Structure 1
Amino acid sequence: MTQTQYPCANCGANVEFAPGTTVLKCPYCGAETPLAPTGQQIREHSYAQFAGLPRKPVATVAPHVFTCKGCGAITQSDKISDRCQFCGAPLVADVSSGDMVMPEAVLPFGVDRPALREALKAWTSSRWFAPNGLKKVTTAESSHSTYLPHWTYDARTVSNYWGERGDHYWVTETYTEDGETRTRQVQKTRWSSASGTVARDFDDVLITGTTRVAPKHLDKLEPWPLPESEPYRPEYLAGHETLRYDVEPESGLETAKSRMAPIIEGDCRDDIGGDEQRVHQVDTQYGDVTFKLMLLPVWIACYLHAGKTYNILVNGRTGEVAGERPYSAAKIAAAVIAAILVIVVIVVLIAMNKQS
């Protein structure tokens, strides 16, 4: 397995991609190497053509074997980019062998470590009832920058539906109350069968390509500024970890369809019209399906409290923060006691006012 390292033209150390810039920067002497435009374009790949190609399941692909050009150490990793476990030099694997789907696009890191600290500081300060130790996460050196694989899918959909349309109408009912005969207006619904066809084009339906990070946290990092993505080039990965996908594109497409389904059903309800709708069946045809693999930037920080590890994720482009946090029993108890005291004071003041 071949890999790429980028030596500094000034001191010979390995340079890294600097978040928020278009340069590779040496962490030792500070020299910068601009990334020259490549003229490449981000491409969408036909899913129909891809489905017929022979390909190894990702679970059977061997780990990358990195040989550090700096210290000569050999590192095995299933990551596309990593660091030498001995000297810390950045390593980027050559993924053009054809064993796996190559990344087509990358959203480069825009949040550097100082900006990360500010984002975490704002997040921890807004966590009520969190232990005071949570503030330490803002300076945690365990945080690391990681590109996470994602699939995007485009599709032209045509859906035939069958359901019912409900139209409200009012009737006058007579009833007896307290010995008197009265009338009232009651809403009823008249149901009629409905069917039709709706069409919608989907663009860049985003599906997580890794099972190593909880989707519930990744979803909270959205939206991603996908239009700011760049054509894939290994230089963006230098100095940052990059997970390879473990969700096959076929599974990703099925998840994408499940994301499209409620939107399509909403289109069906709009097409049915009326005051209420019932959708009994929707048959959808997916045409011109295209996809690509792209890498999205995430800072991952870990926080240890009471023997349990909590993970915090930060969108490496926008600074959005999501993750788990512990709760302080002492702070919760203090808040409850304070609330009780406030209630007692209010009751006492009301009683005193009544006596006076």
Structure 2
Amino acid sequence: MTENPPAQRSRDAQTYPCDGCGARVEFAPGTTVLRCPYCGHEQQVVAVGRQVREHPYEELATLPAKAHGALGAHALVCQKCGARTDSDALAGRCQFCGAPLIADPSAGEQIVPEAVLPFAVDRDGVRTALRRWVSSRWFAPSTLKKVSEAESLKGTYLPHWTYDAHTETRYTGERGEHYWVTETYTVTVNGQAQTRTRRVQKTRWHPASGRVERDFDDLLVPGTQRMAEQQLERLTPWPLAEAVAFQPEYLAGYDALRYDVEPDDGLRTAKQSTEPMIRDDCLGAIGGDEQRLHSVDTAFSGITFKLMLLPVWLACYLHAGRTYQVAVNARTGEVIGQRPYSPAKIAAAVIAGLVLVVLVILLLVHYH
């Protein structure tokens, strides 16, 4: 990873003129071309000829301090109309003429994205996904099924960190092995004491300790706090293997947020996400019928990282005078978001459940 040049608070934004009519072309989802929204002319995105690579975590120490601090807005100068737009994003649109604006990430204050997962779902695909999502909502008002169009729709690239690491974990605990014993007990039947036996399961515990190893690949951590982490988690899984080396052309016509979660903070989150898997490895290594863990000591090595941009459609739709927000994974079509509920349908379901319980009770009483 090379050191970024000094930041420029005001600089020209990258735009891509159409070879056919001179307008600004945009990246066409699911393709490798830039397409003019006016004349339909297409221009091929020329691959940069490099592979997506993981960066050794030690490289962070060699970066200038500016790559680790909070950033303010910078001014982008539109090459089409000359207007200046204040933005803290990597890509957006000119607020005056609407031309796509793309900042040069290598000329900024942050780590340059290594990879991008280009948009694959277009606007028509979003409408299809939204109709499918609406029709599958339980307890939603029947009128919701008439919603098929988003009131607003914005394609946005969200920054994410990925981490690879090798772990070695030493653990101590106990291995439980089941065995059976026969116990004698006394019961009173018709006033007389009777002796009976029963088989009882017991557990014999033995000390256990050892070491387990695991390789983690592409631990994904959101690089922005603009969306709640729980929401971003619901958009998974992402086909990360389909990511390509970053090129600004893929951002043409879309918004792209800069990261506000620093790589050090992202690594801490990534390490925390490994704990359940490492714990399961330790329990499996202990073996036996039951396990107890007393201590888990994990060492991380060979840590690498990269910054990726993942595509999301952010949409709003109007229902019964209220606006609801949804997000669509622009690779898989997965939809998450807000939805209305029908009090009448919920009440009907509750009543139906109570009626069913009463019927079951009456049947049991009748047969007994």
Asked if structure 2 preserves the Cα contact closer than 8 Å seen for 1:64 and 1:93, the reply is: no
Matching residue of 2:276? 262
Matching residue of 1:321? 335
Shift of 1:320: 1.1
Shift of 1:62: 2.5
TM-score (norm 2): 0.89
Q: Which amino acid aligns with 2:196?
A: R
User: Kindly tell me: are residues 108 and 267 of structure 1, through their superposed partners in 2, closer, same or farther at Cα, counting changes over 3 Å?
Assistant: same
Separation (CA, whole Å) in 1 of partners of 2:98 and 2:317:
23
Shift of 1:337: 5.5
Asked if structure 1 preserves the Cα contact closer than 8 Å seen for 2:70 and 2:260, the reply is: no
Is 1:199 the counterpart of 2:213? The answer is yes
Is 1:82 the counterpart of 2:82? The answer is no
User: Kindly tell me: are residues 98 and 55 of structure 1, through their superposed partners in 2, closer, same or farther at Cα, counting changes over 3 Å?
Assistant: farther
| Overall identity of the aligned pairs, in % | 61
Matching residue of 2:291? 277
User: Kindly tell me: are residues 106 and 136 of structure 1, through their superposed partners in 2, closer, same or farther at Cα, counting changes over 3 Å?
Assistant: farther
Residue in structure 1 matching 2:174, options 136, 158, 164: 164
TM-score (norm 1): 0.92
Matching residue of 2:42? 32
Partner SS, residue 300 of structure 1: strand
Shift of 1:264: 0.8
Separation (CA, whole Å) in 1 of partners of 2:147 and 2:79:
34
What is the root-mean-square deviation in Å for CA atoms of aligned residues?
A: 2.4
Residue in structure 1 matching 2:148, options 138, 145, 163: 138
Asked if structure 1 preserves the Cα contact closer than 8 Å seen for 2:150 and 2:318, the reply is: no
Matching residue of 1:119? 129
Shift of 1:135: 4.1
Asked if structure 2 preserves the Cα contact closer than 8 Å seen for 1:44 and 1:292, the reply is: yes
Partner SS, residue 304 of structure 2: strand
- Equivalences for residues 161-310 of structure 1 within 5 A: 161-178=171-188, 179-304=193-318, 309-310=323-324
Asked if structure 1 preserves the Cα contact closer than 8 Å seen for 2:151 and 2:316, the reply is: no
Separation (CA, whole Å) in 1 of partners of 2:211 and 2:222:
30
User: Kindly tell me: are residues 133 and 242 of structure 1, through their superposed partners in 2, closer, same or farther at Cα, counting changes over 3 Å?
Assistant: farther
Residue in structure 2 matching 1:128, options 138, 145, 158: 138
Shift of 1:87: 1.6
Partner SS, residue 315 of structure 2: strand
Moved more, 179-188 or 133-142: 133-142
Consecutive unaligned residues of structure 1, counting only runs of 5 or more, are none
Q: Which amino acid aligns with 1:259?
A: S
Residue in structure 2 matching 1:21, options 19, 31, 44: 31
Shift of 1:159: 0.7
Q: Deviations over 1:183-206 (max 9, x none)?
A: 111111111111111111111011
Matching residue of 2:7? none
Matching residue of 2:114? 104
Shift of 1:133: 5.0
Partner SS, residue 230 of structure 2: helix
Shift of 1:40: 1.4
Separation (CA, whole Å) in 1 of partners of 2:55 and 2:269:
18
User: Kindly tell me: are residues 332 and 253 of structure 1, through their superposed partners in 2, closer, same or farther at Cα, counting changes over 3 Å?
Assistant: same
Separation (CA, whole Å) in 2 of partners of 1:272 and 1:334:
51
Q: Deviations over 1:282-305 (max 9, x none)?
A: 111111100000011111112455
Moved more, 272-281 or 295-304: 295-304
